[in-house]
Amino acid sequence: MEETATTEEAVELKASSEAIAFLSSIRAAEMQRCLFEDSLVTVSEGGRELGEFKVTVERTICREQPCLLLHAHSHGAIDNTPCGTAITAYLSLNLETLEQNHHEYVKEIRRQTLSYPLSSVKGLVSEGSNLLLLRVFALRKNVPENMTFLSFDQDTHISTSTYKELGCRQQTVGEEVVEVFGVERTVDSVEDIPAMWHCYFLPDGHLASRVQVGSPVTMRLLLLPLQTHTEVRDDKPVFEKRSLVWEEDMQMHSMFLDRKEELKAEHASYLRQHPELRTMMADFLQFLLLRKPSDVFVFAREYFSPFASLQPPGSTFNTSSP
């Protein structure tokens, strides 16, 4: 079944000032910590696997500005009927929805096109931005009071959604028992009862479980992500990079002077041991200035070539070949 409807209506519902302020408080560095993958399995009350749920987030460019690209999809079967959801969303670093495609299927396909005035959707949290907003709550381990946002209900009408902290509890993931932090999300409905989800997160923000209240199925994490096994360490201090002016460093300047005197003494000693060097160089320079060749290197090679017969076999310099 395909249905196309376009509506433009005034929406009296508003997000709370606290919710709008919370979105504005999110910084780019905080969103950087949310760029990871979640992968859960959907299981029945009896523990039978029914499908999977996966979320990926990456940085990209949309409308010539940095943004986040989120892909989320789930698939499975309810009463042997295939069903699934796929979300592709482009989000600003403050979780503003720039563009979102949301597909759901259960037997039949229904299509709708809805539009709302931009002024009426301030504080809107779409399904895509909701997944990242939950990660921000989890990483901060705090859900402030009066977190009321605008959202879409199951019939794509503008409604309100609220978030509430559920506190911490123990959960078994694989063979380990870990502490998880819970957040409750409630989406009101214009024509139906509210929908409510309970989501629990690991300390690093990974989703550990997700369930819609009243549903017989649960999404669970089977194995701990690799990074949760490593100890969380404080960030290393960052020191300002400074240019080195060795002449102003007393220790390095003293080392330079010592080395300079050492080399001068070595060179003077070598010249004393080989007085013929001074005579040879003086003759070469005198002959060079008399001839004034255009290519000094060729002239020097021809001048010193007779001395090669006096040199023992082998190279003058030690070299190494790869």
Whether 86 and 141 share a structural domain: yes
Whether 285 and 199 share a structural domain: no
Whether 143 and 95 share a structural domain: yes
Q: Report the alpha-carbon angle 29-35-38, nearest 5.
A: 145
Cα separation, 154 vs 192, in Å, equals 9
Whether 253 and 217 share a structural domain: no
Whether 154 and 281 share a structural domain: no
* Chain segment 259-306, per-residue pLDDT in tens: 888 888 888 888 888 888 888 888 888 888 888 888 888 888 888 887
Whether 166 and 48 share a structural domain: yes
What is the predicted pLDDT for the residue at 6?
43
The 3-state DSSP class for residue 114 equals coil
Q: Report the alpha-carbon angle 268-270-274, nearest 5.
A: 115
Domain annotation covers residue 235: no
Q: Which of 38, 33, 18, 25 is nearest to 162 (CA)?
A: 18
What is the predicted pLDDT for the residue at 9?
45
* Phi-psi label, residue 14: left if phi above 0, alpha if psi -120 to 50, beta otherwise: beta
Domain limits at 281?
Answer: 247-308
pTM of the complete model: 0.66
Domain annotation covers residue 24: yes
* Chain segment 4-49, per-residue pLDDT in tens: 444 444 447 899 999 999 999 999 899 999 999 999 999 888 888 8
**Residue 253 parent element (H or E):** helix 250-273
* Chain segment 101-138, per-residue pLDDT in tens: 888 776 555 666 666 666 677 899 999 999 999 999 99
Domain annotation covers residue 159: yes
Beta bridge partners of 14: none
